[in-house]
Amino acid sequence: MGHGRAPLRTAAAGAVSAALIAGTVVGLAPAAQAAPAVRFVDITGDGGTVLKANVLTPAGADGTRDYPLVVLPTSWGLPQIEYLAQAQKLADSGYVVLTYNVRGFWQSGGQIEVAGPPDIADASKVIDWALAHTPADPQRVGMAGVSYGAGISLLAAAHDKRIKAVAALSGWADLIDSIYSGRTQHVQAAAVLDGAGTLTGRESPEVREIFDNLYASDLSKEQQMIDWGRKRSVGTYVDQLNSNGAAVMLANAWGDTVFPANQYAGFYEKLTGPKRLELRPGDHATAELTGLFGLPNDVWTDTERWFDHYLKGADNGIDREQPVQLKSRSAGGYEGYPDWKSVGATRRKVALAGSTTIHANVDSGADGGIVFLSSILDQVAQLPPIASMPLLPRRWAAVWQSERYGTAQQVRGTARLHTTLTPTKESGTFVAYLYDVGPLGIGKLVTHAPLSWHGRTPGEPFGVDLDLFSTAYDVPAGHRLALVVDTVDPLYTEHNPSGAQLTFSSPSDDPSYVSVPLREQ
């Protein structure tokens, strides 16, 4: 385990290079026609680190009045012109907008700290600078960002009471639950982040060590990694964030392979102030992408509406809408819910009867897909990863199917697997997949999740409860649901020793099942 990661990182870096070039074009395209002039500045961050930034003020600003301020920290690996199209729109609407390259990336100084304490201190220093050098109103400060910028914005709002509103797009609330859910390394996602960091920035020794330990599956360093991640997760500071009272808008994609939707939904439920949760088809940051080109985009439209209401006091109705807004991966418009628990108001169990043994170390053909590519195909063409149920080799895959449904099943929320597992080795991994199976036995992936364990007694059964990644998917009438379990998926690191076998059983006093959340109809 942990071998062969350098080529993966190199490939990821190449993919990221293309994305960064595209991102640069994105930011530059609208600049020539924009009314507010862009001013490029240097800001002294925490410890004297120079942060490269740009600032736009509303056209006609003459120092006689103040304007609300929106601060935009850049995404992981992207240059400071990333948000230029949206910054110009906001400035046209009467905002002072300041975008800065986070430390460690591009021309900014320092090293990559992954939203560590210096990054949070930087955000406050940037606000200080804006209040001193622009006509920004200290009582009307907001932060927004995509991906890394989203995480930093949330953490900053938990530590700086001046921030009154946040829009965190494709971000994280729990860093460990994002890249190490189920005690399983999300190795493709980590490689993309690592590759981008290597290509466009300077990783700190601590960050380099975290990546290396993640790839190496070094259990002696596991708690160190968890502690490191907690310090960088706004979920750790949710009480501070609630106390500060910032209005928080969260937006993410169902297929986000870097920051899965589950961790955002769980965090949303813990917020006590004004809040909004939006979930759509797509992968990491793909739902926001067209907005970075200056094209119409629902996420960015709602971001501006959020700021208009909570920073300008505009009566635009966003506070009266259902705060949880979902869009199914299958079709149709937005669905509104009063809270997350109302999303899957009813549940349907699929029994996992009998006892089934599978062999480890071989990919059965059931997979979660390829980071970015698979969920983008699902977003634009409704083509999720597929697998043929009849052709899956039962030596390496366990398969259970429901009855054929007479009506459409609108899956909404978080499916949960409950089973009894008996391994032949003390460590192991399995990945559970939920499929929509048509009449010909072809399954389209609805959701999945990995699980790993260590220190178990071989031959001794133990109970398993696993939340699959949250989703919204419509299973057509006449189709079935199928649960497939195997041990190898290119998205994740496998912990099964050579020759391991896993037995899934359903004791009479504790039957196995997958509980599927359904929209109330």
- Every domain of the chain and the residues it spans: 5-321, 346-518
Residue 358: Cβ within 10 Å count: 22
User: What are phi and psi for residue 247, nearest 5 degrees?
Assistant: -80, 125
* pTM for this model (two decimals): 0.92
The answer to whether residues 114 and 207 touch, using CB atoms and an 8 Å cutoff, is yes
H/E element holding 296? none
| Residue among 327, 304, 163 at smallest CA distance from 247 | 163
Task: List residues bridging with 43 in a β-sheet.
Answer: 51
The answer to whether residues 57 and 137 touch, using CB atoms and an 8 Å cutoff, is no
Nearest 10 degrees: Cα torsion 218, 223, 225, 227 = -170
User: Measured between alpha carbons, how far apart are the two ends of the chain, in Å?
Assistant: 46
Residue that is written with structure tokens 């009266």 in the block? 320
Which pLDDT value is given to residue 19?
A: 39
Which pLDDT value is given to residue 424?
A: 99
C-alpha 475/C-alpha 39 separation (Å) is 51
C-alpha 385/C-alpha 364 separation (Å) is 14
User: What are phi and psi for residue 85, nearest 5 degrees?
Assistant: -60, -45
Enter the DSSP assignment of 58: -
List the CATH code of the domain at 5-321: 3.40.50.1820
C-alpha 278/C-alpha 325 separation (Å) is 5
Q: What one-character-per-residue DSSP string does 138-174 give?
A: EEEEEEEEETHHHHHHHHHHHH-TTEEEEEEES--S-
Q: 167 is written with which tokens?
A: 């829009």
CATH class of the domain at 346-518: mainly beta
Which pLDDT value is given to residue 11?
A: 40
Q: What one-character-per-residue DSSP string does 171-223 give?
A: --S-HHHHHSGGG---HHHHHHHHHHHHHHB-B-HHHHHHHHHHHHT-GGGHH
Q: Taking the chain (521 residues) in consecutive chunks of 10 residues, what is each chunk's mean pLDDT?
A: 41 39 38 68 98 96 93 97 97 98 98 98 99 98 98 99 99 97 97 96 97 95 97 98 99 97 96 98 96 96 99 98 98 94 96 98 96 89 94 98 97 99 99 98 98 98 98 98 98 98 98 97 73
Which pLDDT value is given to residue 35?
A: 65
Task: List residues bridging with 67 in a β-sheet.
Answer: 136
C-alpha 521/C-alpha 515 separation (Å) is 18
Q: 115 is written with which tokens?
A: 């939203």
Per-position b or e across 187-208, b if 16+ CB within 10 A of its CB: bbbbbbbbbbbbbbbbbbeebb
C-alpha 216/C-alpha 359 separation (Å) is 23
Does residue 97 sit in helix, strand or coil? Answer: strand
Amino acid making up residue 276: R
Per-position b or e across 396-423, b if 16+ CB within 10 A of its CB: bbbbbbbeeeeebbbbbbbbbbbbbbbb
